């Protein structure tokens, strides 16, 4: 074979190799690879997210457990010093004690409700709110004792638990006495706003008609209930926001508390003017002491709000 023919064959083979090297993947091969990647993602991503969620829940349960342990320590200390007894357990914890518990527990969240056992002065129930808003509940007579969820068991929302915490420790029958008890340990105390959940529910029920009322900045205020205890009424925050006196809520008449919403410890009731299929919100003057909740529940102008 002469040199010219050998050179021609060598050149043809080299050109073939270069062409084959540059060919790359076909469209079918690329599709197969993408399908394999999608299947792997569908399997691995949920498992990874589930692991992250379980890890987060375990951390929040640990934080709630630290709060329970810290509360037990504080109970022992206060009982030993004589500042806590069965007679004063209903007022436990006050704001300073609650802060001491959180500091001892070394957590970033907050305690939204805490109840002691009447007989043993131990922690019976505690609701802990983590830094991202996740609620962890503890109950001594339940298994499992710790549960994680956006809403506390039994239909008690974190907001409702917070209202019950406001009521705890309040004394007095008339509004002036209630205000005095709230300002006793904190002269600068201000009432809490109605919160996002109630605001959203109010908007959903009344639509744009709710805007004018909500713009007043409604806040919760405790009012004594006929037969004992307290309920919460939502009234304007723009009136007497600093609680310098009782004139904003209580006047000289028997019906001097202007309420837009009433919370009875379980349900929320909003006042309507009775026109256009209960779609127009307004307020009503109710007694500023010994409020009759049964009359509120039976009044067709006080309707239950879906929250």
The more confident residue out of 193 and 104 is 104
Tokens standing for 265? 């410890």
If you count them, how many residues does the chain have?
A: 307
Residues 279-297: what's their mean pLDDT?
A: 84
Backbone angles phi, psi at 277, to 5 degrees: 55, 45
Q: What is the pLDDT of residue 70?
A: 94
- pLDDT tens-digit series, residues 120-141: 889 988 888 888 878 888 988 8
Q: Is residue 224 within 8 Å of 290, Cβ to Cβ?
A: yes
Three-class DSSP labels, the chain: CCHHHHHHHHHHHHHHHHHHHHCCCCHHHHHHHHHHHHHHHHHHHHHHHHHHHHHHHHHHHHHHHHHHHHHHHHHHHHHHHCCCCCCCHHHCCCHHHHHHHHHHHCCCCEEEEEEECCCCCCEEEEEEECCCCCEEEEECCCCCCEEEECCCHHHCCHHHHHHHHHHCCCCCCCHHHHHHHHHCCCCCCCCCECCHHHHHHHHHHHHHHHHHHHCCCEEEEEEEECCCCEEEEEEECCCCCCCCCCCCCCCCCCEEEEECEEECCCCEEEEECCCCCCCCECCEEEECCCECHHHHHHCCCEEECCC
High-pLDDT (> 70) share of the chain, %: 78
Q: Is the pLDDT of residue 74 over 90?
A: yes
Q: What pTM, to 2 d.p., does this model score?
A: 0.51
If you average pLDDT over every residue of the chain, what do you get?
A: 78
C-alpha distances in Å from residue 282, one per residue of 189, 210, 213? 27, 9, 8
pLDDT band at 243; cut points 50, 70, 90: very low
Q: Is residue 70 within 8 Å of 62, Cβ to Cβ?
A: no
Q: Is the pLDDT of residue 170 over 50?
A: yes
For residue 144, whether the previous peptide bond is cis, meaning omega lies within 30 degrees of 0, is yes
pLDDT band at 159; cut points 50, 70, 90: low
Q: Is the pLDDT of residue 198 over 80?
A: yes
Q: 287: buried, middle or exposed (CB in 10 Å: 19+, 13-18, 0-12)?
A: buried
Q: In what order do the strands lie in the sheet with 230-236?
A: 218-224, 230-236, 261-263, 268-271, 302-304
Q: Is the pLDDT of residue 275 over 70?
A: no
pLDDT band at 8; cut points 50, 70, 90: low
Q: What is the pLDDT of residue 24?
A: 65
Residues 256-275: what's their mean pLDDT?
A: 83
Q: What is the pLDDT of residue 73?
A: 95
Location of structure tokens 């713009």 = 215
pLDDT band at 242; cut points 50, 70, 90: very low
- pLDDT tens-digit series, residues 16-51: 555 555 556 788 888 988 999 988 888 888 777 777
Residue 61 in 3-state DSSP? helix
């Amino acid at each position: 074979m002469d040199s010219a023919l050998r050179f021609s064959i060598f050149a043809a083979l080299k050109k073939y190799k270069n062409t084959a090297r540059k060919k790359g993947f076909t469209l079918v091969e690329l599709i197969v690879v993408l399908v394999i990647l999608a299947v792997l993602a569908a399997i691995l991503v949920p498992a990874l997210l589930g692991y992250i969620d379980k890890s987060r829940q375990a951390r929040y349960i640990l934080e709630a457990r630290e709060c329970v342990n810290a509360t037990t320590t504080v109970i022992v200390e206060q009982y030993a010093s004589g500042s806590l007894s069965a007679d004063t357990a209903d007022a436990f914890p006050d704001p300073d004690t609650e802060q001491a518990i959180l500091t001892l527990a070394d957590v970033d969240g907050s305690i939204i409700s805490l109840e002691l056992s009447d007989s043993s002065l131990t922690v019976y129930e505690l609701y802990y709110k983590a830094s991202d808003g996740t609620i962890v509940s503890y109950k001594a007579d339940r298994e499992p004792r710790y549960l994680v969820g956006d809403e506390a068991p039994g239909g008690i929302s974190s907001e409702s638990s917070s209202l019950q915490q406001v009521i705890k420790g309040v004394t007095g029958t008339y509004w002036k006495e209630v205000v005095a008890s709230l300002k006793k340990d904190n002269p600068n105390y201000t009432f809490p706003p109605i919160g996002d959940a109630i605001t959203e529910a109010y908007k959903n029920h009344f639509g744009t008609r709710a805007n004018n009322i909500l713009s007043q900045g409604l806040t919760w205020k405790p009012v004594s209930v006929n037969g004992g205890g307290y309920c919460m009424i939502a009234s304007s925050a723009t009136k007497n926001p600093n609680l310098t006196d009782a004139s904003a809520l209580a006047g000289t008449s028997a019906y001097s508390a202007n309420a837009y919403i009433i919370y009875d410890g379980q349900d929320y009731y909003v006042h309507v003017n009775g026109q256009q299929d209960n779609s127009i919100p307004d307020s009503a003057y109710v007694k500023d002491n010994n409020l009759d909740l049964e009359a509120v529940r039976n009044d067709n102008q006080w309707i239950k709000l879906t929250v």
